Chains A and B, each alone.
Chain A
Amino acid sequence: MLLTITATPPDGADWPATDLGFLLHKNPDRVQVFSQTFGQAHVFYPVASQQECTAALLLEVDPIALVRGRGRNSPDFALSQYVNDRPYAASSLLASALGHVFRTALRGRCDLRPELAATALPLRIEVPTLICREPELAAELFEPLGWTVTAEPVALDPAFPEWGASRYTKLTLTGTLRLSDALSHLFVLLAALDGAKHYWVASDEVDKLVRVGEGWLGTHPQRAMIARRYLARRQPLVREALARLAEVDEVEPETLDNAVGFEEEPAADIACSTQDTPHPPRGLTHQEKVGGQSEPAPASAATPTEVNESDPKLGQASERKQSLATARREAVVEALHEVEAARVLDLGCGEGALLRDLLKDKAFSEVVGIDVSARALQIAARKLRLDRLPERVQARLTLRQGALTYTDAQLAGYDAAVLMEVIEHVDPHRLSALEHAVFRAAHPRAVVVTTPNAEYNVRYETLDAGRFRHSDHRFEWTRAEFRGWAERVAAAHGYDVRFQPVGEVDPELGPATQLALFTATKTKTETETETENKNKNKKEEPADV
């Protein structure tokens, strides 16, 4: 991967372009090599004249060492593939090579040309393969710093023009800046644009970010996003970095922190927690979304996308609305109260947002969270601080792996089961299996089902027509479709069903979320007692064919 820095002194300047060599501490007439963890960095000057001088930083990454050097459980998936853009794209590897090779220049030190180091010079920076899916993003990040940005998308494959552009951009920055500032911008923003850090982010990265970003990052309009991406979304570190940047730049910490649009960690104590979390992908999905952090997805799986259902562009901006996720959980809990459920199954509990509400409520003496993803259950246990809950609260909760397309004898005999935003994650042709497993085999006294109302989707400005609210949704139903399904299931398995809206209700489109409450017309115990009676009777007069 390559990066070039070109200095073009204006006509009549009192310094030759080749002074760039002094500023970079690299002689324009030499070719130098610097050893890096994953390969070698070369510095050479393709152009070196009085009028124009270009320094090139060429990083050669050893693709085999990149893969082989990783432990089996390396958290950084991006490096475990041989077919990998790391050797070619301007990634955080390049940022770190830049920081290493031009360390002194980055600090702005130049004993031979101190006044030049302190002066804003006409510079041109070229990065032929910048990782940047939307060219506008490059502009958003560099323009506030005084750069003129040209970003040309790189085509995926000239043989297949229909495939469109790649996630790479040919970036050219021009501007009059101090060289050390230019380098510090590149150091931070190349890494931030990459988003997949090549090493496990440790807390000293915060120091580095604060040090290098001093003077510009604290007031950058996209500082929160930059910090988040630079720190590979390690959220506690992000908060620390923002607070420290605020200190450095003498601004109130809140003004920085409240720009952060990511999820808060739940408060430690369930009993006094009032904190709410945005809607995590629930149920049968395994993609993790903790604190806005998404682990690099395996290359084979499409990255999940999810619409923010509490779209701020909806409704009147003046009033802060209750999030749909909260409204949904409240509606579910209310429905459970209505049927006087004490022993409750949360089927497809995901990361446990509803479990938390159920545990807070003494009415629920036993809460069982079932999810198909063992990983989701681990996260749920962590988010609920399961190991630190009082013994009595702990005793009320069970987390267990299960799949709703298989029957499970252990789910029988409960007061109620919740399927909150779960059915739409099941393929339509497998729904009958879920119906059988839940309504027939487990047969709780009540079942609460929530699912998106597809009609309402047009109200989400960020959601393209015909698309689902979450990339793992296999379907989204209109009110009539949901009603049809629910009524058929209820009739087939001995339940009554009624419906209620959840969230904002559009007079024509209906509610954002639809909820169905099923109540068994005949409980399992009644059925069993009847069977026993029948058996007793049979001794007198056996049932014949």
Chain B
Amino acid sequence: MSDLTAPELPPTAPAALPLAVPELSLVVLIGTSGSGKSTFARKHFRSTAIVSSDACRGIVADDENDQSATPEAFALLHHIAGVRLRRGLLTVVDATNAQAKAREALVKLAREHDVLPIAVVLDIPERVCVDRNAQRADRADLPARVISRQRRELRNGLRNLAREGFRKVHVLKSVEEVDAAVIAYEKAYNDKRELTGPFDVIGDVHGCRAELETLLTALGYVLTRDAQGRPVDAAHPEGRTVVFVGDLVDRGPDTPGVLRLAMGMVEAGNALCVTGNHENKLVRALDGRNVKVAHGLAESLAQLGAEDEDFRKRVRAFCDGLISHYVLDDGKLVVAHAGLKEEFHGRASGRVRSFAMYGETTGETDEFGLPVRYPWADDYRGKATVLYGHTPVLNLEWVNNTLCLDTGAVFGGRLSALRYPEREPVSVPAEQVWYEPVRPLEATTFAAASGVVRRDPGVLDLDDVLGRRIVEARHLGRVTVQEENAAAALEVMSRFAVDPRWLVYLPPTMAPCGTSVLPGFLEHPAEAFAAYRDEGVRELLCEEKHMGSRAVVVIARDADAARNRFGVEDGTTGAVYTRTGRPFFDRPEQIEAVLARVRAAVDAAGVWSELDTDWLLLDCELLPWSAKAMGLLRDQYAAVGAAARASLTAATAALGAATARGLDVAELAARQERRLTDAVAFTTAYGRYCWPVDGLQGLRLAPFQVLASQGTNHAVAKGNDWHIELADRLVAADPEFFTRTERRIVDLADEASVAEATAWWQAMTATGGEGMVVKPLHGFTAGPRGPVQPGVKCRGPEYLRIIYGPEYLEPENLERLRRRSLGRKRSLASREYALGLESVERFVAGEPLWRVHEAAFAVLALESEPVDPRL
């Protein structure tokens, strides 16, 4: 065997002959017909990895030897190989590949997918090939001259394989060598998936040694110094690892000092470092190549000039050996100097390296002559967190799960690091402006970043929401959204909903309790209690259900919090929206007025500091019903009442006259009287939920859940009693605007407690209350059959006239209405609840907006499933 990239080995090889093959590569077998390629491929690679030209010819022509099908067979071969490479799978091409042209196409294919092309040549004596073909029925009549020609072509091309672009070339020169060969898989240099950290990823240092020392110390590293007191290593007592994002050098006051420390850490295994564009250029400058000495290179060269030759050699070797990017922590973290789009993670090619060092530019330059960068992070949808530097920024901002850590230390900003997996930022200020930036920074002192902020683009992609989707909801499992439901939701979302950055949650629907058989009741607490008892839940919270409109209030403490937590910069500080994401108020100043009122109450109740947050997500009911449902009231509820009263009044009068005439209409007349009573009761029922509103005057908010605040999904973390008690404090702070939610805690083992709650419900609904919501006291609860219903509603008999019509309590009507099926509604409520929790969970965890939106959008999509709207 000979490896053309290495010194030739003796022809008689030991028993096992290892062939180095990168784990992700395109292996191109080269050999004449009969050289044993297919046998070789089958022996060494899994069958699904092998794409054979013969097999493709068979697929497109039903004949593996039909040469007329060759062009289409190769089109298929390239397609299959391309799909596999795109999906990150090792692929072996089994074809003669004797001609340079055939190989060129495969090298191109490998490059297009940023994987390494590897050549394995089976250089078997011609005689052996001819003999083998002669023994195969389907190739017996293959003329020997064909093999001669193939062999000639192959031998001509052999020398040039490395130049053609193959990164490794293995030539097996005899049958013995072929038999002895074994594949030795090589991990990609960038593949450090086995390293799980924890890491401290440090942004562009640019020769700022003092700041680096301070930062490392702040991160808890202990510095080791040499005899001259210069730091040469740093180790963390808890075994953490530093990852430098590159650009250690240039511009700053002590590039050699930074390198001495970083190289020591890397050599000692305390740090990893990817290459920056400045290291790349420094190497070429040290090699004496003709580079433009600019952007702080002069400083590095001067400083290194003062060092000894050995140090310069060490620096050159270190910088030259840096690789483009690392894939860490089981693929969950990628570090590259200028960031890296998902297709390039774990790949190796010139353009991957170029992207990793320079990022993607739009081709335009700004007024300072600097390249305008393409915001690749805006489009990033990958699972891995990407940390990078390269472009100095004022603040640490998460964009779609990517974060730039270059906070311009050398320009007088800060030197920043991110603790991973904690995702905690640690920054130290620059000691001075070490280098004047070409592009002026907006502020000479960087904003004191209290943490990492969110700056996802506010415009999402259609692909984030459309089509059949499966959303992983951690509290239930997979929730499927059908294509047609997503299509329906798209219309509502895009025509009516608030900015997706505010829409971090949509409330789920809630199932009613089981249908009661008690006379005069369709719903009754007994059913709700029985259902939870059946699920093994003992303690319940019964909350008064307000009849208004469901409202989600998302509120930032101030404009800064709106910008930092939600990435909203248009001056709005929150949103108040409906179950379908529609804004509650048309005019922005109305929204801000409501938010100001809520904010004042949160201030007064001291909730910001208590929850250590600068934003809140509240689930509420906005009262009165008539404030938002006036159109519905006029067109449907009041209209039906008016028609019923007018027509039944006339009917009873006519029947009265008929009775006076002595006609036997007693039964008919009595029925119309009852119907008239029902109509009046119906009118009273909806009328209770109507009162005039003028601006904020008359408007009331009844919060019942504090879903989330910075860092915590309270919907999961807290019991329902916690939520309602926090709501009480807002009520106490502003009793005019906030409405208290009455409640009872029920111990199902205590009959007195059950009876008391039932009586409370009856009293409340008798005076026109809508009813109550029954929830497990301890919040999110899993029962023997999975998560139990997060809550069920139990609506009062008078209120239900609004749902089932004025006359629903007539015995023959009620009897029929009891035949209702709750299964679909319960399933829907569970799925929507899980999705709602999921979107909050994702938001709180700082996941990208598209991920948050995916779950919130799914709630709306499920809402378009056909479920009886009266449940």
B contact residues around A300 at 8 Å (CB): 631-632
Chain B CB within 8 A of A387 CB? no
B816 touches A68 (CB 8 A): yes
A372 touches B495 (CB 8 A): yes
A contact residues around B870 at 8 Å (CB): 82
A contact residues around B488 at 8 Å (CB): 374
Roughly how many angstroms separate A87 CA and B675 CA in the complex, as a whole number?
11
Chain B CB within 8 A of A373 CB? yes
B contact residues around A160 at 8 Å (CB): 638, 687, 690
Chain A CB within 8 A of B433 CB? no
Roughly how many angstroms separate A364 CA and B542 CA in the complex, as a whole number?
64
A538 touches B358 (CB 8 A): yes
CB distance from B758 to the nearest CB of A (A): 26
Decide yes or no: A543 and B570 within 8 Å by CB, A87-B644, A402-B462 being known contacts. Answer: no
Chain B binder among A135-143, A161-169, A177-185: A161-169
A406 touches B460 (CB 8 A): yes
A407 touches B643 (CB 8 A): no
B contact residues around A4 at 8 Å (CB): 654
B665 touches A44 (CB 8 A): yes
Roughly how many angstroms separate A63 CA and B816 CA in the complex, as a whole number?
11
Roughly how many angstroms separate A156 CA and B350 CA in the complex, as a whole number?
75
Residue A157 contacts which of B390, B463, B687 (CB distance < 8 angstroms)? B687
Chain A CB within 8 A of B140 CB? no
Chain B CB within 8 A of A224 CB? no
Residue-wise interface mask of A (81-113) relative to B, using a CB-CB cutoff of 8 A (1 in contact, 0 not): 111110111100000000000000000000000
B657 touches A47 (CB 8 A): yes
Chain B CB within 8 A of A459 CB? no
Question: Which chain B residue shows the least CB distance to A283?
Answer: B495
Roughly how many angstroms separate A536 CA and B690 CA in the complex, as a whole number?
70
Chain B CB within 8 A of A401 CB? yes
A159 touches B636 (CB 8 A): no
B361 touches A406 (CB 8 A): no
B803 touches A82 (CB 8 A): yes
Instruction: Identify which of residues 281-329 in chain B touch chain A, using a CB-to-CB cut-off of 8 Å.
Output: 281, 291-292, 294-295
B363 touches A528 (CB 8 A): yes
Chain A binder among B88-96, B512-520, B555-563, B645-653: B645-653
Residue-wise interface mask of A (484-500) relative to B, using a CB-CB cutoff of 8 A (1 in contact, 0 not): 00000000000000000
How many pairs of residues, A versus B, come closer than 8 Å at their CB atoms?
242
Chain B CB within 8 A of A1 CB? yes
A56 touches B658 (CB 8 A): yes
Instruction: Identify which of residues 778-828 in chain B touch chain A, using a CB-to-CB cut-off of 8 Å.
Output: 802-808, 813, 816-817
Chain B CB within 8 A of A342 CB? no
A155 touches B690 (CB 8 A): no
Decide yes or no: A88 and B644 within 8 Å by CB, A31-B658, A541-B292 being known contacts. Answer: yes
B contact residues around A374 at 8 Å (CB): 484, 487-488, 491
Roughly how many angstroms separate A129 CA and B687 CA in the complex, as a whole number?
21
B contact residues around A163 at 8 Å (CB): 633-634, 638
Q: Helix, strand, loop or mixed for chain A's interface?
A: mixed
Chain B CB within 8 A of A206 CB? no
A531 touches B499 (CB 8 A): no
Roughly how many angstroms separate A455 CA and B650 CA in the complex, as a whole number?
50
Q: Give the size range of B's interface with the partner.
A: 35 or more
Residue-wise interface mask of A (413-448) relative to B, using a CB-CB cutoff of 8 A (1 in contact, 0 not): 000000000000101011011001100010000000
A128 touches B362 (CB 8 A): no
B contact residues around A408 at 8 Å (CB): 461-463
Question: Which chain B residue shows the least CB distance to A429?
Answer: B499
A42 touches B668 (CB 8 A): yes
Roughly how many angstroms separate A533 CA and B277 CA in the complex, as a whole number?
19
Chain B CB within 8 A of A463 CB? no
B459 touches A437 (CB 8 A): yes
Q: Helix, strand, loop or mixed for chain B's interface?
A: helix
CB distance from A73 to the nearest CB of B (A): 9
Chain B CB within 8 A of A544 CB? yes
Decide yes or no: A544 and B278 within 8 Å by CB, A64-B813, A538-B354 being known contacts. Answer: yes
Instruction: Identify which of residues 445-470 in chain B touch chain A, using a CB-to-CB cut-off of 8 Å.
Output: 457-466
Decide yes or no: A44 and B655 within 8 Å by CB, A64-B817, A545-B392 being known contacts. Answer: yes
Roughly how many angstroms separate A162 CA and B633 CA in the complex, as a whole number?
13
Roughly how many angstroms separate A8 CA and B334 CA in the complex, as a whole number?
94
A contact residues around B663 at 8 Å (CB): 29-31, 44-45
Roughly how many angstroms separate A532 CA and B294 CA in the complex, as a whole number?
24
Chain B CB within 8 A of A403 CB? yes
Chain A CB within 8 A of B494 CB? yes
B contact residues around A44 at 8 Å (CB): 654-655, 658, 663, 665, 668
Chain B CB within 8 A of A404 CB? yes
Chain A CB within 8 A of B637 CB? yes
Roughly how many angstroms separate A534 CA and B487 CA in the complex, as a whole number?
41
Chain B CB within 8 A of A316 CB? no
Instruction: Identify which of residues 634-686 in chain B touch chain A, using a CB-to-CB cut-off of 8 Å.
Output: 634-644, 646-651, 653-658, 661, 663-665, 668, 671-672, 679, 683
Chain A CB within 8 A of B223 CB? no
A contact residues around B371 at 8 Å (CB): 534, 543
A46 touches B658 (CB 8 A): yes
Chain A CB within 8 A of B357 CB? yes
B contact residues around A272 at 8 Å (CB): none
Decide yes or no: A429 and B588 within 8 Å by CB, A48-B661, A409-B463 being known contacts. Answer: yes
A401 touches B487 (CB 8 A): yes
Chain B CB within 8 A of A173 CB? no
A contact residues around B465 at 8 Å (CB): 406
Roughly how many angstroms separate A403 CA and B653 CA in the complex, as a whole number?
57
Chain A CB within 8 A of B364 CB? yes
Question: Which chain B residue shows the least CB distance to A4?
Answer: B654
Chain B CB within 8 A of A270 CB? no
Roughly how many angstroms separate A160 CA and B583 CA in the complex, as a whole number?
27
B491 touches A372 (CB 8 A): yes
CB distance from B126 to the nearest CB of A (A): 43
A contact residues around B651 at 8 Å (CB): 1-2, 58
Residue A530 contacts which of B363, B641, B808 (CB distance < 8 angstroms)? B363
A contact residues around B491 at 8 Å (CB): 286, 372-374, 403
Chain A CB within 8 A of B866 CB? yes
Question: Which chain B residue shows the least CB distance to A29?
Answer: B663
Roughly how many angstroms separate A402 CA and B647 CA in the complex, as a whole number?
48
CB distance from B630 to the nearest CB of A (A): 9
B642 touches A155 (CB 8 A): yes
B contact residues around A129 at 8 Å (CB): 642-643, 646-647, 650
Chain B CB within 8 A of A284 CB? yes
B648 touches A88 (CB 8 A): yes
Residue-wise interface mask of A (515-545) relative to B, using a CB-CB cutoff of 8 A (1 in contact, 0 not): 0000000000001111111110011011111
B contact residues around A128 at 8 Å (CB): 646-647, 649-650
A contact residues around B643 at 8 Å (CB): 85, 88-89, 129, 154, 166, 168
A156 touches B654 (CB 8 A): no
Residue B636 contacts which of A81, A403, A532, A544 (CB distance < 8 angstroms)? A81
Residue-wise interface mask of A (292-317) relative to B, using a CB-CB cutoff of 8 A (1 in contact, 0 not): 00000001101000000000000000
Given A44-B655, A48-B661, A427-B583, 4 more pairs with CB closer than 8 A? A2-B647, A83-B803, A88-B647, A160-B690
List 15 contacting pairs A-B, 8 Å CB cutoff, sorted by A: A2-B647, A44-B665, A45-B661, A46-B658, A60-B671, A63-B805, A83-B805, A154-B642, A159-B687, A402-B462, A403-B493, A405-B459, A433-B499, A529-B363, A544-B277
Q: Give me the 7 closest cross-chain CB pairs, A-B, nearest first.
A: A46-B657, A403-B494, A530-B363, A531-B363, A82-B805, A128-B650, A88-B643
- A→B interface (CB under 8 Å): 1-2, 4, 29-31, 42, 44-48, 54, 56, 58, 60, 63-64, 68, 72, 81-85, 87-90, 126, 128-129, 154-157, 159-160, 162-163, 166-168, 170, 284-286, 299-300, 302, 372-374, 401-409, 425, 427, 429-430, 432-433, 436-437, 441, 527-535, 538-539, 541-545
- B→A interface (CB under 8 Å): 247, 277-278, 280-281, 291-292, 294-295, 354, 357-358, 361-364, 370-371, 374, 390-392, 457-466, 484, 487-488, 490-491, 493-496, 498-499, 570, 572, 583, 588, 631-644, 646-651, 653-658, 661, 663-665, 668, 671-672, 679, 683, 687, 690, 692, 802-808, 813, 816-817, 866, 870
